[in-house]
């Protein structure tokens, strides 16, 4: 299969590192003009420079701003221009005992992980439907289905994203716009490395720490390793392309077999 996104503009939120960065690179390599987003203008500029150094010809535009803030989100969208492909990747996570999660923290997880995505969909979907083509992808998590005891608030927010995706897919029915969520499994990023060391012996070398984390905290993974960000990005690129025209309202798993269910 040849994925060609030439002429399409993609906005990837939280794309200065981790999964978002890998998605941005993959979409750019498929020919899309990719808007790189992060809260700090400096980190966005650094990421664009690095991505362009890695591969010639990538069409990248800086759109710094905190999309969890309504005013910043407007600024980001204005800088991006007409968005054909929206990847809601921004998310926060962290371990906290269930009974110690306060109201403000519950609200913060909902604001950042859910409402920011809803706001951007609300702003971009009319333009997509008017043009008769578009792709919206919300990056969810295995935690949406298998709620981790150590971060219930995170799991809640990712479950909500599955509902958001299905609902907006119905809103876009018959328009040429698809809306899906991607259930990403345990993925190897800098943030996850830090999280792993919060749960296992910090003196362990990374390979041993990763194995111990998967064995102790994610034993149902069939992959038995952390997923690389590029593996998530490959699925996102396909779902962002014309080849995935019949896939909408779905929760597509790239979870390494972590979710022990035939359906999400």
Is the distance from CB of 180 to CB of 137 less than 8 angstroms?
A: yes
Alpha carbon 147 to its chain centroid, in Å, reads: 18
For residue 154, indicate whether it is catalytic.
yes
From the CB of residue 29, how many other CB atoms can be counted at a distance below 10 Å? 18
The residues assigned a catalytic role are 154
């Amino acid at each position: 299969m040849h994925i060609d996104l030439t002429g399409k503009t993609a906005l990837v939120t939280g794309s200065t590192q981790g999964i978002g960065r890998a998605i941005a690179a993959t979409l750019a390599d498929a020919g899309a003009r990719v808007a790189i987003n992060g809260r700090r203008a400096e980190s966005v500029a650094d990421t664009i420079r690095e991505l362009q150094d890695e591969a010639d010809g990538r069409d990248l535009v800086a759109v710094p701003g905190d999309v969890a803030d309504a005013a910043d989100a407007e600024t980001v969208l204005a800088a991006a221009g007409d968005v054909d492909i929206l990847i809601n990747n921004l998310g926060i996570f962290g371990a906290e005992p269930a009974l110690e999660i306060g109201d403000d923290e519950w609200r913060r997880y909902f604001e950042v992980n859910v409402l920011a995505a809803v706001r951007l969909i609300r702003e971009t979907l009319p333009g997509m439907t008017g043009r008769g083509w578009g792709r919206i992808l919300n990056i969810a998590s295995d935690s949406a289905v298998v709620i981790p005891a150590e971060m219930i608030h995170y799991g809640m927010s990712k479950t909500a994203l599955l509902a958001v995706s299905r609902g907006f897919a119905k809103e876009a029915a018959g328009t040429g716009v698809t809306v899906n969520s991607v259930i990403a499994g345990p993925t190897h990023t800098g943030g996850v490395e830090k999280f792993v060391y919060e749960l296992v012996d910090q003196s362990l070398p990374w390979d041993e720490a990763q194995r111990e984390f998967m064995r102790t905290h994610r034993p149902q993974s069939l992959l038995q390793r952390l997923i690389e960000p590029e593996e998530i990005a490959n699925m996102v690129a396909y779902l962002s392309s014309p080849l995935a025209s019949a896939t909408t309202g779905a929760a597509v798993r790239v979870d390494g077999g972590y979710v022990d269910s035939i359906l999400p």
